Structure 1
Amino acid sequence: MTSRAPSASLAPMTLAPLPAQPADVAWPTQAWPAGGLPDRLNRPRFEALLKTAFETDALGETHALVLVQGGRLVFERYGKDHGPDATYPSWSKAKSITQALVGLLVGDGKLDIHAPADVPEWKAPGDPRAAITLDHLLRMSSGLKFVEDYVPGHVSDVIEMLFESGKADVAHYAASQPLEHAPGSFWSYASGTSNIVARAAGQAAGDLKAYMFERLFGPLGMTSPIPKFDAAGTFIGSSFCFATARDFARFGLLYLRGGVWEGRQLLPPGWVDYARTPTFQQPGVTEGAYGAHWWLGVAGEGSFSANGYDGQYTIAVPDLDMVLVRHGATPLEKKDALKAWVGEFVDAFR
């Protein structure tokens, strides 16, 4: 397959400019350069929000909070029995890692996101799913039926895929779902689509585990990641890549720097802009704006983030040259409170 420059599902728009790495700041490939909190910080608000996160149950449990600004580690705090060497679950933050792997493969000329996806389950003559592209999948706009529900007792394709009948071959489970909407016409967040993408990436890479360490984690100095694969050999790119909070911050910095690391364009030019360009969403969507396997706007206009179940976040904030990583255990009923807290916490720096 050939590569093409990524294009957005919406009309061209102006994106917030991404900051460059300061010339006097080392890249954190070996270790994070340290820095201090900025003078403009609203300290009373900052301290109050930290107390909410770590000393109350308003957000559930906060296990790790890492803050990078100007390429420097300016603040970190950990909850009881957690620390900088602990590995934390990604949950759906893994989707953004999957997007990065696809970008590398596009750059290698091994994937074309605008061509029909190479999915065995869709090869029968006349199968309408054959029109689905990787772009549709990355933008959660494939049109495939998939119920994303984490409430016990509810009908849930994501639980069935990850923990029940689909767990041995997560991509096959997802790709076997019928089409409910024309591809590209309907947005619906679905973890199954990410596993179809991850299998396609594995087919293109050959050995995706070796590829991700050689081409992504290794260059960034990420030594802690533990990606999980199913029995069929597919990276469970919807949900499972453990890493330290500092390593998740390295990944966030790669995107804040437009895919550049150590002065080298690691991701293809334009790939980060593709990730953060809004996808069409039909009226009535309440989950928030979405790009291509990245969420948009959780920490203010122009911000984009990898979000995971239970309140895992890696957030890039271009206007503040900031990366915020939060890990914890936030129950569903406190999800909105955590989102609001994230917005207020970042605003304290404005």
Structure 2
Amino acid sequence: MKKFLKYFALTLLLLIVVAIVYILATFPPIMTGMAAKTMCSCVFVTNREPASVVEQEFQVFPGMPSLPYEVNREDSSVSVTMFWKTGKAIYRKGLGCTLLAEMDEEAVRAQPVRRPQPAITNQDTIAWPSGNLVKDTLLAGIDYGKVREAVNQAFADVDPKNPVFTHGVAVVYDGHLIAEQYATGYTYNSRMMGWSMTKSITNALIGILVKEGKLKIDEAAPVAEWRNDERSKITLNNLLQASSGLEWSESYFSPTADFHQMFIKSDDKAAYAAARKLKYEPGTFFQYSSGTTNILSRIIRQTVSDSAYYRFPYEKLFHRIGMNTAIIEPDASGTFVASSYSFASARDWARFGLLYLNDGIWNGERILPEGWVKYSTTPAPSAKARQYGAQIWLNLGDPYNPQVVEYPGLPAEAIIFDGFEKNFVVIVPSKKLVVVRLGVTHNKNFSLANLVNGIIAGLPN
């Protein structure tokens, strides 16, 4: 018995040592990298105070709120330290923040980039939706009391110990901005994180290149790493529908998952994703993947060339529909992190939703190709619950088991741009409705269904 207990104790000690080594090897880079990048973007891109970032965004991982950080306003950078590891992110005007991983900071700062020019229009002198002049006339048939109540509830904390931190809500009905509300410190011009709603922006940018005849979705994806192997069968459509077949782990809570390896440890996120092996036949297996979206971003870059790439989203999309607060951040290789790193005001996200509600047409001008919205909102064949189109979420449900739906309580016809921390743009075509909710929620105390259905209850039948 003593011998057994001795071996048991030694085994337990060994397991504890292995666990400690694993934690020290994996968690510090993830924690410091995520914290530095998030703090940098919140401070320098959205003009937040560091304390509010610690109170809200840093709650994503236990222990993150206590990490020591330094905001350097002289060189526009943020550093966060945990044990032996320091993560650093830098801000560059016109580009936003970039997390440093492999490349030297000086090399990243010295990159020759043709930065996008700011929009020249003063939106406060232009009528909505292209501008910010909103008529105060009430539309017939709308119960504004019900709409306001639904919006108010989106800011309510049912559990004060676990606040929802809603930052902004905007509601557009039949092209009219009928309601909006903001938390203290936020306005209709405040940039807010979109996280994976950026994937839907990527959909639009690919669509514009399709419209210009520069890309075809049914052709093999132009990825150099795949030319001479079985991955050459992957089409642009497969990437858009998150059905590439590439081996991938999108887990946010496993430090060894592809998601964190790409975002935190790789300077070239598209190259990291493109290096994954083929696990399934392309088009047969649905795997939500930030990696494949970043491959799409590099395809956009290669298609339009570096000389036009950094202006492309602004000149071809954002400024054409009045999304003048919008910004997408690049990684250290210079490619936009088009899976996750975009920011825009609630009104600008509403404008983006309105573009899709109106079939890709803005003020009579076709921005997206004819049929693009229908294609983008048609379920991918591999998405068995009909929950995903082309970088856009759906809610049609499993045809063989209607109770299996991605967003219980939302209308089946809903089109959703979905971002981490419960950031959403919801489009309900039959109701001519766009609902935007932006915030930082890490609990289940916010109900998207209650918000959208409460607004619908106030609309004409």
Flag whether TM exceeds 0.5 (same fold).
yes
Does residue 345 (structure 1) correspond to residue 454 (structure 2)? The answer is: yes
Q: 1:183 aligns with which of 282, 289, 298?
A: 282
Tell me: CA distance 1:27–1:65, structure 2 relative to 1, closer, same or farther (3 Å): closer
Q: 1:228 aligns with which of 311, 329, 350?
A: 329
SS at the partner of 2:418? strand
User: Greater CA radius of gyration, 1 or 2?
Assistant: 2
Structure 1 residue ranges, 4+ long, deviating more than 6 angstroms after superposition = none
- Which residue is equivalent to 1:23? none
Q: Distance in 1 between matches of 2:390 and 2:449?
A: 23
Unmatched segments (≥5 aa) in structure 1: 1-25
Does residue 118 (structure 1) correspond to residue 222 (structure 2)? The answer is: yes
Q: Distance in 2 between matches of 1:94 and 1:302?
A: 21
Contact 2:153 2:451 in 1 (8 A): no
Contact 2:146 2:455 in 1 (8 A): no
Contact 1:33 1:71 in 2 (8 A): no
Q: Distance in 1 between matches of 2:328 and 2:188?
A: 19
Specify the code of the residue in structure 1 equivalent to 2:440: A
Q: Distance in 1 between matches of 2:261 and 2:447?
A: 27
Deviation of 1:154 after TM superposition, in Å, equals: 4.8
Does residue 317 (structure 1) correspond to residue 440 (structure 2)? The answer is: no
Deviation of 1:338 after TM superposition, in Å, equals: 2.7
- Which residue is equivalent to 2:414? 303
Query: How big is the alpha-carbon RMSD for the aligned residues of Structure 1 and Structure 2?
Result: 2.3
Tell me: CA distance 1:250–1:47, structure 2 relative to 1, closer, same or farther (3 Å): closer
- Which residue is equivalent to 1:243? 344
Instruction: Count the aligned residue pairs.
Output: 316
Tell me: CA distance 1:48–1:213, structure 2 relative to 1, closer, same or farther (3 Å): closer
Q: Distance in 2 between matches of 1:40 and 1:112?
A: 44
1:244-288 deviation digits (Å, cap 9, x = unpaired): 1111111111111101112111111001111111112465x6xx7
SS at the partner of 1:334? coil
Q: Distance in 2 between matches of 1:310 and 1:37?
A: 33
Deviation of 1:339 after TM superposition, in Å, equals: 3.6
Q: Distance in 2 between matches of 1:281 and 1:42?
A: 41
* 1:246-265 map, 5 Å: 246-265=347-366
Q: Distance in 1 between matches of 2:368 and 2:244?
A: 24
Tell me: CA distance 1:154–1:51, structure 2 relative to 1, closer, same or farther (3 Å): same
SS at the partner of 1:80? coil
* 1:270-281 map, 5 Å: 270-281=371-382
Q: Distance in 2 between matches of 1:131 and 1:321?
A: 39
Deviation of 1:344 after TM superposition, in Å, equals: 2.8
Does residue 219 (structure 1) correspond to residue 313 (structure 2)? The answer is: no
1:50-99 deviation digits (Å, cap 9, x = unpaired): 34321215672111000011111110000122221210011001101111
Q: 2:130 aligns with which of 29, 33, 46?
A: 29
- Which residue is equivalent to 2:120? none
Q: Distance in 2 between matches of 1:329 and 1:210?
A: 29
1:140-180 deviation digits (Å, cap 9, x = unpaired): 111111111222x4542212211x222x1010111111111
- Which residue is equivalent to 1:289? 387
Specify the code of the residue in structure 1 equivalent to 2:391: H
Q: Distance in 1 between matches of 2:383 and 2:434?
A: 30
Contact 1:311 1:338 in 2 (8 A): no
Does residue 201 (structure 1) correspond to residue 312 (structure 2)? The answer is: no
- Which residue is equivalent to 1:106? 210
Contact 2:423 2:439 in 1 (8 A): yes
Q: Distance in 1 between matches of 2:316 and 2:383?
A: 36
Contact 1:67 1:322 in 2 (8 A): yes
**TM-score of the superposed pair, with normalisation by structure 2:** 0.64
Does residue 136 (structure 1) correspond to residue 245 (structure 2)? The answer is: no
1:152-209 deviation digits (Å, cap 9, x = unpaired): x4542212211x222x101011111111111000011111010000110111112222
Tell me: CA distance 1:30–1:339, structure 2 relative to 1, closer, same or farther (3 Å): closer
Specify the code of the residue in structure 2 equivalent to 1:180: K
Contact 2:167 2:439 in 1 (8 A): yes
Specify the code of the residue in structure 2 equivalent to 1:235: F
Q: 1:334 aligns with which of 428, 444, 447?
A: 444
Q: 2:201 aligns with which of 97, 102, 115?
A: 97
Deviation of 1:32 after TM superposition, in Å, equals: 4.9
Unmatched segments (≥5 aa) in structure 2: 1-126, 396-406
Q: Distance in 2 between matches of 1:271 and 1:43?
A: 34
Contact 2:353 2:426 in 1 (8 A): yes
SS at the partner of 1:231? coil
Q: Distance in 2 between matches of 1:184 and 1:38?
A: 46
SS at the partner of 2:438? strand
Does residue 65 (structure 1) correspond to residue 169 (structure 2)? The answer is: yes
Which fold has the larger relative contact order, with Cα–Cα distance below 8 Å and residues 6 or more apart in sequence? Answer: 1
Specify the code of the residue in structure 1 equivalent to 2:232: A
Deviation of 1:102 after TM superposition, in Å, equals: 0.4
Specify the code of the residue in structure 1 equivalent to 2:177: L
